[in-house]
Amino acid sequence: MKMNDYIKLVDRKLDEYIQIETPENLFKSMKYTVTLPGKRLRPVMCLEICRILGGKTEDALPTACAIEMLHAQTLIHDDLPCMDNDDFRRGKPTNHKVFGEAIATLAGDALLTYAPQIITKYSNNLAPETIVKILNEYFNYAGARGVIGGQVADIESEGNLDNIQNKQEVLEFIHIHKTSDLFQLSMRTGAIIAGANEEKLNAITDFAKKFGLAFQIADDILDEISTFEQMGKTLGKDKQSGKLTYVSLYGLDDAKCKLACTLKECRDIIEKQNIESEIFEDIIQKIQKGAEI
């Protein structure tokens, strides 16, 4: 399948999986951010690795969509006034700008259990053992030891740069958890559904971790050099709010260099694993070119 076919498939399922029930505003708010047009990188990478390792797309589809819902959840809460206070996301008003803070907070809460429910409800071909395994991955990467831990470290670094002793360590913690963790979740679950062995799973985890790192460095760079029109969100905010980013810590040139290196490491891993995928190559190239990601 081509990238666009995957995206269409995921978009169709996301639309199908969230019907407007009562209370309407809650479901509309959930659906609003989940169905904002996007590259669907995380579900695509889940589905693609599953295919490559011999799994069925239909078996991984509920999990892939659940991860996109989880991603949307992090966006809704990250944009809240008490967090990053952003008004735009993917060129549209953020969730709380449309539905208000209370509903946006609750829509995010709802997605955190709605997403794994999609996995248990629609993964008809998976054994209960596999479903429990997938859910454990979800709980781990979505929670305090995953994405949320990263977001907390990110917030705590803000405006506090001078007081952080071990900046490199903290930055790595933020990047790994805030960004890499969802890519790790995507690729690990895709691989588990395909029945990957431990060695394969470790290599894929390593790839996803590094890929997420590259993705975040690229995002830090774009926040510095891009425009609102290109990105559809408010930019230059990292610098303004004194955030710990790759660019603020190492400067723009070093960030670009680190990006190239990290993507090279990603390529080496998949090559060593004999993984041939136009889609992974496409995604890596797009990030390398600093294209919109």
User: What is the H or E stretch that residue 89 is in?
Assistant: strand 88-89
Q: How far is the CB of 153 from a second copy (least distance, A)?
A: 5
Binding piece for a second copy, criterion CB under 8 A, among 51-59, 138-146, 204-212, 215-223: 138-146
The stretch near a second copy (CB under 8 A) out of 49-57, 77-85, 221-229, 239-247 is 77-85
Our separate counts of H helices and E strands in the chain read 16, 2
Residue 128 interacts with a second copy (CB under 8 A): yes or no:
yes
Burial of 36 (0-12, 13-18, 19+ CB in 10 A): middle
Is residue 185 within a helix (H) or strand (E), and if so which, with residue range? Answer: helix 181-193
For residue 105, state whether it binds a second copy (rule: CB under 8 A).
Answer: yes
Q: Whole-angstrom Cα distance, residue 199 to residue 201?
A: 5
Shortest Å, Cβ 251 to a second copy = 26
Where does this chain touch a second copy (CB under 8 A) — which range of 8-16, 53-61, 151-159, 255-263?
151-159
Under the criterion CB under 8 A, does residue 82 sit at the interface with a second copy? yes
Q: Which is nearer to a second copy, 26 or 293 (CB)?
A: 26
236: left (phi over 0), alpha (psi -120 to 50) or beta: left
Count Cα neighbours of 289 within 13 Å in the Cβ-side half-sphere: 9
**19 binds a second copy per the rule CB under 8 A:** no
Q: Which is nearer to a second copy, 106 or 247 (CB)?
A: 106
Segment (H or E) for 93: strand 92-93
The correct pick among 143, 159, 195, 236 for binding a second copy (CB under 8 A) is 143
Please check whether residue 190 is in contact with residue 49, taking contact to mean a CB–CB distance below 8 angstroms: yes
Q: How far apart are the first and last CA of the chain?
A: 20
Contact segment (CB under 8 A) with a second copy among 26-34, 35-43, 45-53, 179-187 equals: 26-34
Cβ within 8 Å of residue 178, ≥6 positions away: 147, 150, 151, 153, 154, 216
**Residue 226 binds a second copy, judged by CB under 8 A:** no
User: How many whole angstroms from its chain centre is CA 254?
Assistant: 24
Nearer to a second copy, 127 or 165 (CB): 127
| Binding residues with a second copy: total (CB under 8 A) | 50
Site residues, a second copy (CB under 8 A): 21-23, 25-27, 30, 73, 77, 80, 82-83, 100-103, 105-106, 108-110, 112-114, 116-117, 120-121, 127-129, 131-132, 135-136, 138-140, 142-145, 148-149, 151-153, 155-156, 173
